[in-house]
Amino acid sequence: MAVSKDKIRNFSIIAHIDHGKSTLADRLLELTKSVALRDMTEQILDDMDLERERGITIKAHAVKLDYTAQDGEVYELNLIDTPGHVDFNYEVSRSLAACEGAILVVDATQGIEAQTLANTYLALDHDLEVVPVINKIDLPSAMPDEVANEIEDVIGLDCSVAPRVSAKTGLNVEQVLERIVQDIPAPTGNDSAPLRALIFDSVYDSYRGVIVYVRIMDGKIKAGDTMKMMQTGAAFTVVEVGYMRAQSMEPAEELCAGEVGYITASIKTVRDANVGDTVTLATNPALEPLPGYRSVLPMVFCGVYPADGNDYEALRDALEKLRLNDAALSFEPETSGVLGFGFRCGFLGLLHLEIIQERLEREYDLDLVTTIPSVIYKIHMTDGSVIEIDNPTHYPNPANIDFCEEPFTNAHIYSPAEYVGTIMDLCQTRRGIFKGMDYITKDRVDILYELPLNEIIYDFFDSLKSRTRGYASFDYEICDYRRSNLVKLDVLLNGDVIDALSFIIHSDMAYGKARKIAERLKDNIPRQMFEIPVQVAIGGKVIARETIKAMRKDVLAKCYGGDITRKKKLLEKQKEGKKRMRSFGSVEVPQEAFMAVLKLDDNN
């Protein structure tokens, strides 16, 4: 039963990793009796193992809570959870667009973190009412007064009534619910206007098809309506609408303006229900879609191969299953001379890549080899044509290239001021162009750089973290393509090009990188029966060279009395070990050698 619009509150929770977002959400569920106590497991909202382990929320979730406030009225609170990483910045912005307010959770022992700040500004940009909450006041090192002052100074939010809570013990959490009711505005919207519903998430369910999570901005929707996606034009007959409860889905007659709920309509793929798209009705459609839509395009590509060629079909199945639920994941078959059959996969960013890789390995029990991530380069040929490549293998003959372009990003790095020097060093080595720096407070800065995407896609975040002891965070968006002096590096083992290790790099970085790669391979490929030259080349020109000396000693000198079996087993074990290596011509390369090159970063 729909409540009146002024009793609805739609909100998100913004928090830094580990500041207690999930725990607070659990307490809210508990206090509103949305979950029976005996069903409480730690952190109900994060239901993927991976999320729990990484302490980040990967996909948005939403839940409806019924809350009887101190004024005696029953309120409908819709908590919309948001993903917490730059790769999912767009999804965060759509989730926030579905809300009128946000709870900002700050750890009383840590203070405001940069990542929180980015999302808080994003919330303020969406005109959300931000309700500060100071958490972890049960800890001995808690400094709630200092943190309250900091929130006031940095963000300018009034903290005089900010709840000071311990989500862990439940202390004062009920005050959070009261603040939501009192401070966050009720949604507006016209029930009789043409339907406009914002899709902030969609999930594939093998029984119902895609479940579309929406916030109704205007109008109404009910089962039997013919709905239409305004961006893709796809139309479907609505099977069911309803509300998300913590542990179930609750069908409803209709969803009205201001409400948050779900729609099922026998939709086969999440690609037909893109985050940010506007749902309207075929009869009486809205004139304009809701603003802010972006089609989600993969930005980072890499080859994903099964370590055991027999797992190719299993890998394909697993990718197909993951794609059902992940509109940003793309893949197509590709063949590598050395890795065999695999897939070229596209991701939003490196975290997205790592998550997919981990899910494939963990949930589908696959052993994978992934190649060096690449971005999309635009290659302008001398004949005037332009080709786009996301795979170094397709890099054309340099003689036919007029010039190349690569994607650039606007990157914000938020950090304590003491790390400015080391951050600027890092950005400088990554070909960054310094654009400016704002002091958010006297000891916190927002550094703005233009950085080439290919410099940040695989270890920038790790390097940033290690240089700033984890205090800095960053945020980027693609701004444009720029002309750049790019070259393709090839790695040769024993004279054969190892296609899986080729990559495209700025010519200024080529020599240094080439030397490191050669060293890494030399250190990580075990000595074999032959001397193996390791070369790194641009075109035909070798720019770095190492030699893996031939193995000298591998012998069981003493044949243990008559213990022949032991000897035989030893040789068999050795043979087994070899199976785990990749053969490149006559050279056997262990997986670790690959990883050592792929994970090459500034620090080693």
Partner 1 sequence: MPVGLYIHIPFCRGKCPYCDFYSVLPSKGIIDRYADCICSHLKEHSDRRFDTVYFGGGSPSLTRAKNIARMIECANLYGNPEITVECNPSDCGESGFDFEKAASAGVNRISLGMQSAVDSERKTLGRRADAGDVLNAVKRAQSAGIDNISLDLMLGTPGQNSESLKRSVDFCFSSGAKHISAYILKIEEGTRFFRIKDKLSLPDDDETADLYLKCVELIEENGMKQYEISNFAFQGFESRHNLKYWHCEQYLGLGPAAHSFIDGRRFYYERNLEEYMKNPTAVPDGEGGSFEEYAMLALRLTEGLQNSKVKERFNFDIPAEIFENAKRFEQNGLIKICDDTISLTAKGFLVSNAVIGSLII
Per CB under 8 A, residues contacting partner 1 are 528-530, 549-565, 567-568, 570-572, 574-575, 578, 586
With respect to partner 1, which residue has the nearer C-beta, 387 or 559? 559
Q: Which is nearer to partner 1, 170 or 526 (CB)?
A: 526
Of 567 and 599, the one with the shorter C-beta distance to partner 1 is 567
Which DSSP category does 199 fall into?
A: E
Question: In three state form, how does the secondary structure of 468-496 look?
Answer: CCCCCEEEEEEEEEEEECEEEEEEEECCE
CB 390 to partner 1: min, Å: 38
Q: Shortest approach of partner 1 to residue 570 CB, angstroms?
A: 7
Query: For residue 581, what is the DSSP state?
Result: E
| CA–CA separation, 553 and 161 (whole Å) | 74
Other beta carbons within 10 angstroms of residue 20's beta carbon come to 24
Rounded to the nearest whole angstrom, what is the least distance from the CB of residue 26 to partner 1 in the complex?
50
Report the nearest approach of partner 1 to the CB of residue 574 (Å): 5
- With beta carbons less than 8 A apart as the criterion, state whether 131 and 102 touch: yes
Residues 6+ apart with CB under 8 A from 415: 114, 423, 444, 445, 447, 468, 471, 472, 473
Considering the complex, state which of residue 483 and residue 549 has its C-beta at the smaller distance from partner 1.
549
CA distance 355 to 56: 11
- Looking at the Cβ atoms of 387 and 551, the one nearer to partner 1 is 551
Q: Which residues have C-beta within 8 Å of that of residue 453, sequence separation ≥ 6?
A: 299, 300, 375, 406, 407, 408, 409, 476, 478
Q: For residue 327, what is the DSSP state?
A: T
Closer to partner 1 at the Cβ: 403 or 530? 530
Q: Contact at 8 Å (CB) between 106 and 135?
A: yes
- In the bound state with partner 1, the residue whose beta carbon lies nearer, of 139 and 564, is 564
Q: Which is nearer to partner 1, 36 or 551 (CB)?
A: 551
Report, in Å, the least distance between residue 530 CB and partner 1: 6
Cβ 528 to partner 1 shortest distance, Å:
8
Minimum separation from the CB atom of position 516 to partner 1 (A): 25
Please list, in sequence order, all residues whose beta carbon lies within 8 angstroms of the beta carbon of residue 508, skipping any fewer than 6 positions away: 431, 485
Could you tell me if 528 and 480 are in contact, meaning their C-beta atoms sit under 8 angstroms apart? no
Q: How far is the CB of 534 from partner 1 (least distance, A)?
A: 18
Residue 269, judged by CB atoms within 10 A of its CB (0-12, 13-18, 19+), counts as middle
